[in-house]
Amino acid sequence: MKKFLRTNEFYVAVILILLCVFIGIKSPVFFSLQNVFDLLRSSITMGIFAMGTLIVIISGGFDVSFTAIAVSSMYITIKILFAINYEGSFLVALIISALIGLLMGLINASIIGFFRIPTLIATLGTQSLFHGFLLFFIGSKYINNVPDGMLRFSRSNLITTVTPTGAITGLQSGILILVAVVIVVYLLLRFTMIGRNIFAIGGSREAAERSGINVIRTQFFIYGFVGMLAGIGGIIHGAHYKQGNPFDLVGTELNTIAAVVLGGALVTGGRGTVLGTLLGVALVVVMNNSLILIGVPSEWQKVVLGIILIIGTGIPAYQNMQAAKRVKTNLAE
Amino acid sequence: MAEKFLEVKNISKSFAGVHALDDVSFEVRKGEIHCLVGENGSGKSTMIKIIAGVYEPDEGEIIISGKSYKRLHPIDTIREGIQIIYQDFSLFPNFTVAENIALNKQLSENRKFFHKKEAQQVARAALESINIKMDLDSLVGTMSVADKQLIAISRALLQDAKLIIMDEPTTALTGREVKSLFKVINDLKARGISTMFVSHKLNEVLEIADRTMVFRNGKKIIDADAKEFDQSKMVYYMTGRKIESDSYDFGDQNKSGTPLLSLNNLSSTGRFKDVSFDLYKQEVIGVTGLLGSGRTELALALFGINPADKGSIQIEGKAVKINNPQDALKHGIGYVPEDRLTEGLFLEHSIGNNIVVSIVNKLLSKIGLIDKNTKQKEIDTWVKDLSIKTDSADNPAKSLSGGNQQRVVLAKWLASNPRMLILNGPTVGVDIGSKSELHEIIKRLAGEGLGVLVMSDDIPELLHICNRILLMRGGKIVDEFQASQITENELAEKLAEG
């Protein structure tokens, strides 16, 4: 328990609760079922992206191309489905988009694995590459409609209630996909050897190689998997907004990375948890969606996010420094 | 005699035409503690890497348990039961003790799933087999070097090791930790597991070895029963020459007058407390103590990196404040850090630039540009004076051996014409030939009027170069000795006390 009080998860949870209480007091609408459902709906795509980012950061890497992968997978999928006039299940759209994402992820992996380019540089390059490729070869036109399957998905709810004003609101079923992704990533990191390998590479790449871990194969898994998650997140995002916008998402990757880092993942690799990441996502989503409720102008949301990011990561760092000092004091007295 | 486990036959290996190993043969028997000693560049690491399967030998063969290999692959080495513990241990700082110990076994069994409980069982059993108790859930990154070593050994044992090769295992260990490492090695021997102990610390080799071999310039010079060696013989085989060392004779003649440096109850919260002593011109004072005793902290305070917060510092009778390295420089204090690779040198830059880096402003011509001729003259002087071995001062500093790098760091400070030098672990990682030359340089400089403070736990070194030795423990000076009136053993005992 004492140990838990010193984790990042704890601080993020405290900040999150304080923020919610504060907003709730100022604006009771915050705790209405409709607002909670809205917040959950907004967490779905960022949550899925964050799970991918978490894996990359644990392995000691950085991926900034996932938004470009997401928007490309989404846009290409919508184009394909319109072209073949497919009006069936959303599942098909999901699979196509996931496969396109996987393919792009594997391109990332090849560049990182074979040419040994630092991951941040490689994905900066591919972000531009994928997005430019999309705009030039596939199309740069805004599509203000999505195929029927996606439309039905975005309207489907798990639970529905009627608000006091008479409107119908519900919990969007995409949350199930997020839950599934979270469970898969949790099991992967906690109970599989590939998960061990990811932590090992993030801890010390050289030691991992000497232990006989195939680092390049592991990187293929990581970036392929992350690409796939980006494809899944992208198509859900498209469905939620009922549009195919080729200029969407790209540029928002830092929000996701901030959420993961807030959740306690170490940017130098080797450490990070699913629970912490979920808390980080919740914090960022609440700030992005609810500060407006208490009259904070949207420009200020960025400032607040920055402050919370610095405080949230600064407190544990400061504590470590204090702990290190304490050890030495014992020696001298 | 026990049966042969490993036999190395006529192995040669060249890199770009230079013989790293030249027709080397030896054998390691079951349960034997086989020591390999040699200076830097003698071929020790090349030999380890050939046995590890990292390098392919040009000629020769390796026979393990009767099976002959022209070249080994890493996986062969592991399957044959040879485990190598590198200097950095190849551990994962972000894993717990249990996770680290169990990982290799899980990998070699080609597991798909990981169970925490099972890892803990495996790790506990492995640690018990060498009679060590440790918290299995601690993060390895927070543990001491000695503990990391034990973790690496127990991890090696899990892979059914029959021979464990340890590359410079005691570099960062304190005396007591070395003792417990030796106990573990002897236990392994009792179980029929061989150890190859690669080191340049001769007293340790003399203590532990069953058999010792010496490499020099890629050749095996001698390979004999350990009983046939003593320290001077080993030094002779390693360097090819006799090295003699006298202790530093300072005398008391200079003790009258104002001390060069005078500390009065100097304290730094949490680091050291009430440190007082005087350092005179031409004097070499050794400050010793175990890791964490405060000796490094004191050095850092005197150079202004972590300034002291109480007490006073006087230089030639005048009270001064040293709040940052610039202050220290102003008062003529030079500092040679413990880790010259990261703190003392610009490795990628030329030897020459490294030497003049702290005196660049003295080299400027009238128009404010660096005067090439003055610079070159300065560089040539120091390369010659400290006999830095290099073809050209334009080579990068990283091309030098440890001992020569240390001379470049020294030259850098001497060029700034200091009154006082603080040397922190001046010969850590420097091989024995260079070491005694460095010692002579230090003594000579002191003789010429410098005051020198040496932070070290290398007992022979302290006795050779210092006239006085201060012992620190728990941040305080607890004892003081005249170097001429104490023996190595007495000092070693004092050091280990408390």
Who wins on pLDDT, A207 or A90? A90
Strands (E), B146-302: 163-167, 194-199, 211-216, 219-225, 261-268, 272-279, 284-288
Residue A108 burial by Cβ neighbours in a 10 Å radius (0-12, 13-18, 19+): buried
Sequence ranges of chain B with CATH classification 3.40.50.300: 4-239, 261-496
The residues near A241 (Cβ < 8 Å, ≥ 6 apart) are A248
Report which secondary-structure segment, H or E, holds A80.
helix A66-83
Give the model's pLDDT for residue A17: 93
Cβ contacts (< 8 Å) between A206 and chain B: which residues? 88, 90
Residue by residue, DSSP assigns A173-214 as THHHHHHHHHHHHHHHHHHBHHHHHHHHHHH-HHHHHHTT--
Over range A87-106, report the average pLDDT.
95
Distance of residue B273 Cα from the nearest chain A Cα, in angstroms: 7
B113 reaches A (C-beta below 8 A): yes
**Is residue B152 predicted with pLDDT exceeding 60?**
yes
- Tell whether B257 lies on the interface with A, counting CB pairs under 8 A: no
For residue B49, CA distances in Å to A208, B58, B85, B440 come to: 17, 13, 11, 34
Spell B106-123 as b/e; 16+ CB within 10 A means b. bbbeebeebeeeebbebb
Query: What is the structure's pLDDT at A137?
Result: 92
Amino acid identity, position B133: K
Q: Determine the pLDDT at residue A275.
A: 94
Contact A276, A8 (CB under 8 A): yes
Of residues B3 and B244, more confidence is placed in B3
For chain B, the first-to-last Cα distance in angstroms comes to 42
Query: What does B290-313 look like in DSSP terms, one character per residue?
Result: STTSSHHHHHHHHTTSS--SEEEE
Beta bridge partners of B313: B263, B320
Contact B359, B352 (CB under 8 A): no
| Chain A residues within 8 A of B114 when measuring between CB atoms | 190-193, 195-196
Residues of A in contact with B74 (CB under 8 A): 212
Res. B42 pLDDT band, cuts 50 70 90: confident
Between A241 and B305, whose confidence is greater?
A241
Reported as a pLDDT band with limits 50, 70 and 90, residue B252 is low
Confidence at A243, pLDDT banded by 50, 70, 90: very high
**Helix A174-191 and helix A33-58: axis angle, to 10°?**
30
Cα dist. B102→A188, B80, B90, B119 in Å?
Answer: 18, 19, 14, 5
Please state, in angstroms and rounded to a whole number, the distance separating the CA atoms of residues B310 and A222.
Answer: 53
Interface of B with A in 58-77 (CB under 8 A): 74-75
Assign 3-state DSSP to chain A and report helix, strand, coil percentages, each to 5: 75, 5, 20
* Subunit contact A328:B271, Cβ cutoff 8 A: yes
pLDDT tens digit string along B390-410?
Answer: 778 888 887 777 778 888 888
Please report which helix (H) or strand (E) contains residue A152, including its range: helix A148-155
Check residue B366 and report its DSSP letter.
T
Confidence (pLDDT) at A193: 92
Distances (CA, A) of A31 to A24, A163, A290: 6, 13, 11
- pLDDT tens for each residue of B357-393: 878 777 777 787 888 888 888 888 888 888 887 778 8
First and final C-alpha spacing in chain A: 29
What's phi and psi for B420, nearest 5 deg? Answer: -150, 140
Minimal Cβ distance to A271: which of B94, B292, B476: B94
Torsion sign, CA atoms B113, B118, B120, B124:
negative
pLDDT (0 to 100) of residue B244: 60
Closest CA to B178 of B207, B140, B157: B207
Q: What is the mean pLDDT of residues A270-282?
A: 93
Burial class (CB in 10 A: 0-12, 13-18, 19+), A62: buried
pLDDT-derived band of residue A329, with 50, 70 and 90 as boundaries?
A: very low
Contact B113 A191 (CB under 8 A): yes
Name the closest residue on chain A to residue B108, using Cα atoms.
A212
Strand, helix or coil for residue B256: coil
B114:A191 CB<8 A: yes
B271 and A332 in contact by Cβ < 8 A? yes
Return the CATH class of domain B261-496.
Answer: alpha beta
Give the span between the Cα atoms of B352 and A94, in whole angstroms: 63
Question: What pLDDT does residue A4 have?
Answer: 65
Cβ of B475 and A192 within 8 Å? no
Tell me how far apart the alpha carbons of residues B461 and B243 are, in angstroms, rounded to a whole number: 13
Q: What is the pLDDT of residues B414-441, one digit of tens each?
A: 888 888 999 988 877 677 777 888 888 8
For chain A, give every domain's residue range.
Answer: 43-272
Amino acid at A185: V
**Across residues A266-278, what is the average pLDDT?**
91
- Virtual torsion, Cα A199, A200, A204, A210, nearest 10 deg: -160
- In this predicted structure, the answer to whether residue A183 has a pLDDT above a threshold of 80 is yes
> CB B26: neighbour CB atoms within 10 A?
18
Maximum Cα–Cα distance across chain B: 77
pLDDT at residue A231, rounded to an integer: 97
Residue B94 and residue A203: Cβ atoms within 8 Å?
Answer: yes
User: Across the strands, what pairs with B477?
Assistant: B472
CA distance A128 to A132: 6
Q: DSSP 3-state assignment of B53?
A: coil
Beta-bridged to residue B219, according to DSSP, are B216
State both tokens at A181.
Answer: 């992704």
Interface of A with B (CB under 8 A): 190-196, 199-200, 202-204, 206-208, 210-213, 266, 269-271, 325, 328-329, 331-333
Can you give the pLDDT at residue B243? 61
Sheet order of strands, B211-216 included: B82-85, B163-167, B194-199, B33-37, B211-216, B219-225
DSSP annotation of B102 reads H
Q: How confident is the model at residue B443 (pLDDT cuts 50, 70, 90)?
A: confident
Pick the CATH number of B4-239 from 3.40.50.300, 3.20.20.100, 3.40.228.10, 3.40.50.2020: 3.40.50.300
Residue numbers in A near B76 (CB within 8 A): none
Output Rg (C-alpha) for chain B, integer angstroms: 25
CA distance A68 to A197: 27
For a pLDDT cut of 70, what percent of chain A falls above it? 93
Where does the pLDDT of residue B160 fall: very low under 50, low under 70, confident under 90, or very high at 90 and above? confident
- Beta-carbon contacts of B314 under 8 Å, excluding residues fewer than 6 positions away, are B259, B261, B262, B263, B264, B320
